[in-house]
Structures are given as C-alpha cells and as structure tokens.
Amino acid sequence: MQNSGPAPASGNAPPRRGRGRPRAFDREAALTEAMHLFWRKGFAATAISELTAAMGIGAPSLYAAFGSKEELYTEALRHYRERYEAQVWGNFAAAPTARAAVEALLTDTAVALTQVCAPEAARGCMVTLSAVGGEGHADLGACVQAARALGFERVVARLSRAAAEGEFDASVDISALARFVMTVQGGLSLQARDGASRAELEAVARLTMAGWDARVAD
C-alpha cells in the first residue's frame, strides 16, 4: 500500500534507475497535468479517468506512481506551491519595509492570478479556492488550510518585525492589519475566478495600500 517507487526523489544526481522496467512517462509532467485538473475542477469533481487521460497514462501507472487519489492531490498541491509560491511571496520576502512587502504581495498576486498560462486554465489560487475540506476529506482540508494559515503568519511576522524596527508605532493592531491584507489577497482570487482583469486587481491593490497608509504612520 505504501509508496514503493524507486526512491522517488532521494537527491537526483545519480538518476539511480532501479532494477525493473523504467517508467515510460515523465512523473513531473504528469503531476503538472494532474495539478491543472485538480486546480480547475476540485478534488471531488475530478475523476481518475480524467486524470489518466490528461496525464497520458493508465490507471495502474497512476496508482503505482502516486498511491491514491488523495496522495496525488497532496503531491499536486505541493507541486503547485513549489511552482508559484516565489511568484507571489518572493518580493514580499525581499522588500525593505513592511509596507513595500505588503504592496509587493498584493501587486504580485494580482499579476499572478491574471496571467493566462493555458487556454482554459483555472482562475484563482488553487490553495485559496480549494473546498476539499468541506467535501468530506478532513486530512486534505487541513492541508490546504495550513497552507492558507502560513500566508497569514508570514504577514504577521513581517509586521511584527516592522513594529520592532519602528516602521510604525506600537498602537497598530498587527493581527488585524495582517488579516485585512490576507482578506484582500484571498478576495483577489475570487475576483480572478469571476474574470477580473489584471488592471482591475491592481487597482484593488492600490486601494488597499491607501487603507494601509490611512492606518499606519509612515
């Protein structure tokens, strides 16, 4: 039952082909296709037959390589985060001030959510919009919820540091401000899902920063 793949990613310097017949498909490419499908349709509404068709493999290959539908979803989620996280959080982490970090977060989110990668690509963040928790898969739900909580914690940490460095005074409610930022950031995914353009989302980011400036002394 447990994964017995050929030491899936233990390093990668020695490709370390196992003994038997080699896998005939690119595991990462197949995972990307699965990610796209889960992203667009969600967990429950995506059938194994759709996955195998999109991944270009048979069902036994899918189960041999990924274990189960749940494990495949978990890996697809990890793949998604590894692929897109830097796009949204990279400038946030590098910004010199908390204000610049939050502005970068919202602007980069607006850009990331509106770049069309595929003709019928999913719109909105896979993590933000995932409803897998309510669908009766508590473990997967906890997984995406933890991913969402991480974003909030990052903002809280950055704001705490800014407060310690005197970027704004101690009267600012850091938790409330962080939640405000994450509320907008999440809302951007909902807007993107309903077809909002990049310019429209960037305007939302600007208005949010106006709210920031109204509350935080520069």
* Footprint on this chain of DNA (rule: CB under 7 A): 1, 4-6, 17-25, 46-50, 57-61, 63-65, 68-70
Nearer to DNA among residue 50 and residue 173 (C-beta): 50
| Residue 161 interacting entry, from DNA, a second copy, none, C-beta within 5 to 8 Å by type | none
- 185 lies in the binding site for a second copy (CB under 8 A): yes
Q: Quick check: 112 and 21 in contact, CB under 8 A?
A: no
Q: 210 exposed, middle or buried (CB, 10 Å; 0-12, 13-18, 19+)?
A: exposed
Q: Which two tokens stand for residue 193?
A: 């899902």
Q: Quick check: 91 and 116 in contact, CB under 8 A?
A: no
Min CB(133)–DNA separation in Å: 17
Q: Which of 54, 64, 81, 187 contacts a second copy by CB under 8 A?
A: 187
Kindly report the number of other CB atoms within 10 A of residue 6's CB atom. 13
- 203 lies in the binding site for a second copy (CB under 8 A): yes
Which CA distances in Å does 149 have to 70, 108, 132, 185, 203? Answer: 21, 19, 16, 13, 25
96: which DSSP letter?
A: S
Residue 177, phi then psi, degrees to nearest 5:
-65, -40
Residue 46, phi then psi, degrees to nearest 5:
-100, 120
Q: Quick check: 108 and 92 in contact, CB under 8 A?
A: yes
Q: Quick check: 86 and 104 in contact, CB under 8 A?
A: no
Cα–Cα distance, 158 to 101 (Å, whole number): 8
Nearer to DNA among residue 34 and residue 209 (C-beta): 34
Min CB(48)–a second copy separation in Å: 14
- 153 lies in the binding site for a second copy (CB under 8 A): no
Nearer to DNA among residue 45 and residue 94 (C-beta): 45
Nearer to DNA among residue 135 and residue 200 (C-beta): 135
* Contact track, a second copy, 87-116, x by CB under 8 A: ------------------------------
| Residue 200 interacting entry, from DNA, a second copy, none, C-beta within 5 to 8 Å by type | a second copy
Task: Kindly indicate which of the ranges 6-14, 18-26, 42-50, 157-165 contains the residues binding a second copy, using the contact rule CB under 8 A.
Answer: 42-50
Task: Kindly indicate which of the ranges 27-35, 73-81, 127-135, 156-164 contains the residues binding a second copy, using the contact rule CB under 8 A.
Answer: 127-135
